[in-house]
Amino acid sequence: QLQLQESGPGLVKPSETLSLTCTVSGGSISSGDYYWGWIRQPPGRGPEWIGTIYYDGATYYNPSLKSRVTISVDTSKNQFSLELRSVTAADTAVYYCTRRRRSSSNRDYWGQGTLVTVSS
């Protein structure tokens, strides 16, 4: 059974960089059948797509976050990561890592989510 697990600091100071890692178990991140991505959800609000990466490193980002976001993949560790720079309180949210099947809207696996609070 595939599992995705987010890890990283739960508290980040304003203007600093938020860094999260998603560890994939029970399946290979190098499968060409899937895209791997990040979605966040501010408290009390709907989800927001952050971006997606393919195993070969190709990335796609939300235009509203593109200037501050980098998503990378480490196939040797079966992990992918998120960096969000120059954070503000507006970046406080639960961050989820996900898997989506290619050529489909089938985003079938989600991590449990990790709350990241931006505060001094």
Binding site for other proteins (CB under 8 A): 45-49, 52, 60-64, 96, 104-108, 110-113
Alpha carbons 101 and 96: distance in angstroms, whole number: 16
In the complex, the smallest distance separating the C-beta of residue 29 from other proteins, rounded to whole angstroms, is 19
Count of alpha carbons within 13 angstroms of residue 100, beta-carbon side: 18
Residue 29 or 39: the one with the smaller Cβ distance to other proteins is 39
In the complex, the smallest distance separating the C-beta of residue 13 from other proteins, rounded to whole angstroms, is 26
Six-digit token string for 103: 């050529």
Report helix, strand or coil for 119: coil
Q: Are 81 and 20 in contact (CB under 8 A)?
A: yes
In the complex, the smallest distance separating the C-beta of residue 27 from other proteins, rounded to whole angstroms, is 16
Residue 21 or 62: the one with the smaller Cβ distance to other proteins is 62
Residue 47 burial by CB count (10 A; 0-12/13-18/19+): exposed, middle or buried?
middle
Count CB-CB contacts under 10 A for residue 19: 16
In the complex, the smallest distance separating the C-beta of residue 59 from other proteins, rounded to whole angstroms, is 11
Residue 16 or 101: the one with the smaller Cβ distance to other proteins is 101
Residue 63 or 120: the one with the smaller Cβ distance to other proteins is 63
